[in-house]
Structure 1
Amino acid sequence: MEQIRKLGFPIAMVYGLVVRLRNYLYDIGIFKANTFETPTVCVGNLSVGGTGKTPMVEFLVSNLKETNKIAVLSRGYGRKSKGWVLAEPNTSVEELGDEPFQIFSKFPQITVAVDADRSHGIRILEDTVSPDLILLDDAFQHRRVIASFSILLTAYGSLYPDDQYLPVGNLRDHKNEARRADVIVVTKCPANLETMQQTKIKNRLKPNKNQLVLFSTLVYDPMVKGLEGQFPLTALKDKKVVLVTGIANPGPLLYFLAEAGIAVEHLPYGDHHFFTASEIELFNTKDLVLTTEKDYSRLQGRVGKLYFLGIKHQFLSDGKAVLLNSISTFTKPGR
């Protein structure tokens, strides 16, 4: 493994130079960035996957949809379509991508769209939907849009100051770009993370004086859900369970299930994996298949005994109120 990392170091250096040059050209105005009348909230990270962006977008939708006409705009990573796609009842996961499809399935009353060109997507939303607020999913690196408010996520135990550029590490952007965030959320924290430990992490992140640093943990749903209904997670203790994951880091889920006393046969796949016919055939030979909510969007209707376990962010201390109040302040019309 160490030898592989050494081989990747020159590539990481070149990648880092390209990233820094690109950001510099945006900083000095050579590359143009756009602002919009509609308030926008960006949710993103500096690394590839595994920080909880989709659950954070769902958290924001859940807490803001009653007082705002919300639209979610995503790139739609891994989708098989091109350009602009607006989610409608008959839109497939292949057209939207798994994460936007999951959000639209859970919140069909809001607008969900995908477009690799966020500026283009925002203009269409403004012209056709006129939302009060647009949530930009995984858009921190999309410098062509200047968001009204930016939330940067970094995972506990894998903080961006301790990471390196791809392919040696998981960084896809320079660590200093964290300065553009209004709030840094340390996700996947232990629920009992002490104040002293939080202070040490803040010192490691070195936020600007105007930046907030908040802490959240991921809470798993106590109910397992599927097309045939739902039942308590504890009911899986006496069953033969196959866990299928196509996410960046299944470690926390495996740990949670082990702590709950649930033994699983784990079949891991890459992030955003689109399952093949032979893989589906294999899953259908199993007594019960458990998966993540994101993977469920790609497997439902194709696997018989299929269930998923949902997750959501839970902020430590008063983090929830602090974040929502900050968003409200920064996204006021005319600000």
Structure 2
Amino acid sequence: MIILLRWILLPFTLIYHSIIWLRNLLYDKKILKSKSFKTPIIVIGNLAIGGTGKSPLTEYLIRLLKDKYKIATLSRGYGRKTKGFRYVDLNSTALEVGDEPLQFKSKFPEITVAIQEDRCAGIEQLQDDHEVIILDDAYQHRKLNPGFSILLFDFNSLMKPILTLPTGDFRDVFSSTKRADLIIITKCPEHITSKQKEHIEHLIRKYNTAPIFYTKIAYDTPLDPQGEYLKDKLENKEIVLFCGIANPKPLVEYLINKGNTVKLVKFSDHYNFKTTDFDRIKTEFDALSSSNKIILTTEKDMQRTDTSYFNNYPLYYIPIHLQSADHQQITFDHFIENYISQNLN
């Protein structure tokens, strides 16, 4: 029914596509102005809605660069209830700064994490005190002309018809691929066929000859709110999994493939949990018959979870990271470091 409705909305898709195409054209022709900066600026983004792995890539770049340069991350702070520029600190809440910036600061307290809807204004606040600024989810922010753009595509999004909203899943026209300096295909299957790669590269090479890298999501050992690892293996358990992310399907499949039974409690992306939601999750957990059971969530969702509601409950979150699927990690690192070394003041 939903698929049929989306196709019925095809005329609105054509209107939306035309508006986005015209906006991009005005920026490409410099009728609408973009601002450049001398400080090396790395932008991470995607064209489609839903999770593509921008946060794991941001964290990967932080690990790569934080010991060599004074870096800052700048995000919009999606889901926050505040406005304007703010620094993120360890006492911030997700309602103040957004879940992803809070996650970055919690994992890397030594770096600067900031939020600002207007990315150019945010960069102006940060540039004098930082050597590199990483922008999470700013590919469509055309007021900014970044020094280096990394574009992410979910593997499955390229296996379906490429259409803009509301019929398709793309919030930008596919020709915007041409602005990317590097392209990463994320959430790849364990074994990618030559035919699948040929299909992907045929789509992208119409607009861009930039290097293409293939990655997959790797799941780490679950941690409790105090940072202690799950003591036994994540296998053959009954799990209540609650998620407020765009696409929990890969995580659900990962857990089931390890022999677990999963009860999914799904919320909208960046959802701000209420106490009634926590009560529902605990009720679902109490209803499980097995003694070998846990409550699990994502690292991003944990930033929005009041863990005090789960005292005496086995609550864990599962971190993720990007893993190369084509053994080209060193080559990717070289592109990033080469850009920075050539553009430092």
TM-score range, shorter chain: over 0.9
1:173 corresponding residue in structure 2: 172
Match of 1:17 in 2: 18
Q: What does residue 242 of structure 1 align with?
A: 240
- CA displacement at 1:166 relative to structure 2: 1.0
In 1: Cα distance, 2:53 partner to 2:33 partner: 29
**Using the alignment, how far apart are the partners of 1:177 and 1:232 within structure 2?**
46
Q: Is the 8 A contact 2:39 2:343 kept in 1?
A: no
In the alignment, the residues of structure 1 paired with residue 234 and residue 343 of structure 2 have an alpha-carbon distance, to the nearest angstrom, of 52
Offset of residue 191 of structure 1: 3.1
- CA shift, 1:11, in A, is 1.9
| Counterpart residue identity of residue 329, structure 1 | N
1: CA distance, partners of 2:6 / 2:30 = 35
2:251 counterpart SS class = helix
Three-state SS of the structure 1 residue aligned to 2:9 is helix
Distance 2:9 2:320 in 1: 34
RMSD of aligned C-alpha atoms? 1.9
Contact 1:234/1:260 (8 A) holds in 2: no
Deviations 1:159-185 (A, max 9, x none): 288321111111111100000001110
CA displacement 1:276-305 (0-9 Å, x = unmatched): 221122223435320011111101424413
Asked whether the 8 Å contact 1:160–1:175 carries over to 2, the reply is no
Quick check: 1:309 aligned with 2:315?
A: no
Q: Helix, strand or coil for the counterpart of 1:215? A: strand
**1:320: how far off?**
1.3
- Does 2:314 align with 1:292? no
User: What is the Cα deviation at residue 249 of structure 1?
Assistant: 0.8
Consecutive unaligned residues in structure 1, runs of 5 or more: none
One-letter amino acid matched to 2:260: I
Conserved in 2, the CA contact under 8 Å of 1:87 and 1:112?
A: yes
1:267 equivalent to 2:265? Answer yes
Structure 1 residues 222-276: Cα deviation after superposition (integer angstroms, max 9, x where no partner)? x1101252215625524x3210011111111111001101111111111111112
Aligned 8 A contact 2:56 2:321 in 1: yes
**Matches for 1:138-287 after TM superposition, within 5 Å:** 138-159=137-158, 162-195=161-194, 197-206=196-205, 210-221=209-220, 223-228=221-226, 229-232=228-231, 234-235=233-234, 237-238=236-237, 240-285=238-283, 286-287=285-286
Distance 1:9 1:194, change over 3 A: closer
In the other structure, the counterpart of 2:35 is 34
Structure 1 window deviating more from structure 2 (293-302 vs 91-100): it is 293-302
| Contact 1:47–1:160 (8 Å) recurs in 2 | no
Name 1:324's counterpart in structure 2: 333
* Cα distance between partner residues in 2 of 1:284 and 1:37: 51
Unaligned regions of 5+ residues in structure 2, if any? Answer: 287-293
Report deviation, 1:94.
Answer: 0.8
Q: Normalized against structure 2, the TM-score is what?
A: 0.90
Secondary structure, in 3 states, of the residue corresponding to 1:162?
coil
Q: Return the offset for 1:209.
A: 6.2
Q: Is contact 1:149-1:331 (8 Å) kept?
A: no
1-structure distance, mates of 2:298, 2:113: 21
Read off the aligned partner of 1:319 and give its amino acid letter. Q
Asked whether the equivalents of residues 215 and 326 of structure 2 are also in contact (C-alpha less than 8 Å), the reply is no
Distance 2:66 2:198 in 1: 33
Hey, what's the Cα distance between the residues in 1 that align with 2:82 and 2:179?
A: 31
**Which amino acid letter does the alignment assign opposite residue 106 of structure 1?**
K
Number of residue pairs aligned between Structure 1 and Structure 2? 331
**Structure 1 residue identity aligned to 2:322:** H
